[in-house]
Amino acid sequence: MSLKTTILAACAVGALMVGAGVAHAAPPTNLVANGNFANVTGGITQSTQFGTQATVNDQQFISNWTGNNGYEIWYPSASAAMSENAIGQYSYTNQEHIWSVTAPPTGPGTFVGLDGDQTPGVQSSISQEINGLTVGSTYQISFDWAGAQMASRQGATTDSLAVSLGRSTQDTAVLNNASEGFTGWESATMDFIATSTSEMLSFLAVGSPAGLPPMSLLTNISMQQVAVPEPSSLALLGGGLVGLGLVLRRRRAAKKQPVTKV
């Protein structure tokens, strides 16, 4: 067997060892509860504003989530989002529905709309405390989101989300949305390193210009710990590399020995 073949074979075996360790590990658990916003309380079935400015009795009716004092709306479906005048502080306009939107790519079809107008008392966010984290471990956060606009407004907007886990924040791409438009659903994935065993996961809508308003839609949130190889697999890989090193050392030593002529 040539030296090149030996090295390639060793690398392949090592990769299989590590892969086997990951494959036998338990499937990662989604640490986010009610990530598609399907579970609500208070008998809410119609498109409704939530958060501290909501006009319903149970302002935080989305189970496991907390809305702030901005303009955030829960939608039971895409068709309802386009046809229902959402219950809330601006219901008097009779146009508190979305110009255009399609159903989310997966899940039951429920989602929230977060106003990205950065005026205080308008800009929206939603958050959930995540417990049971391992300090120093990497966690992958995935979600579906889009840009849209309320029918009470017209004009081109930009939409994005600032995603935070504890004190660490990452931003999505900025979507450009035409007047009365819908950007289509986007899937995003971000990696965060936990700095505490319990951290707040939050999504803040960021849009422009003020007053239109730019609405960021959000659903299908998941958060999973990034899998790492089991210690036994790493030990096997280490042993294989040591063995490869011994083979190479012997080959070098054999080449250095002088050849005796008869």
Task: Sketch out the chain's domains with CATH numbers.
Answer: 48-225 (2.60.120.260)
At which residue do the structure tokens 């986007």 appear? 186
> In the predicted model, is pLDDT for residue 193 greater than 90?
yes
Q: Mean pLDDT in the chain?
A: 86
For residue 34, the model assigns a pLDDT of 98
**Tokens representing residue 218 in the block:** 């959000």
CA distances (Å), origin 250, targets 13, 83, 160, 243: 21, 77, 59, 11
> In the predicted model, is pLDDT for residue 260 greater than 60?
no
Backbone angles phi, psi at 3, to 5 degrees: -65, -40
Percent of the chain with pLDDT over 70: 77
**Confidence grade of residue 247 (pLDDT, cut at 50, 70, 90):** very low
For residue 176, the model assigns a pLDDT of 97
Would you tell me the crossing angle of helices 3-24 and 231-256 to the nearest 10 degrees? Answer: 170
**Confidence grade of residue 233 (pLDDT, cut at 50, 70, 90):** very low
> In the predicted model, is pLDDT for residue 10 greater than 50?
no
**Confidence grade of residue 256 (pLDDT, cut at 50, 70, 90):** low
> In the predicted model, is pLDDT for residue 248 greater than 90?
no
For residue 110, the model assigns a pLDDT of 98
CB 125 within 8 A of CB 112: no
For residue 228, the model assigns a pLDDT of 75
- CA-wise closest residue to 49 among 77, 78, 80, 88: 88
> In the predicted model, is pLDDT for residue 84 greater than 60?
yes
**Confidence grade of residue 17 (pLDDT, cut at 50, 70, 90):** very low
Torsion over CA: 32, 57, 77, 118 (sign): negative
> In the predicted model, is pLDDT for residue 4 greater than 50?
no
- CA-wise closest residue to 134 among 224, 70, 211, 218: 224
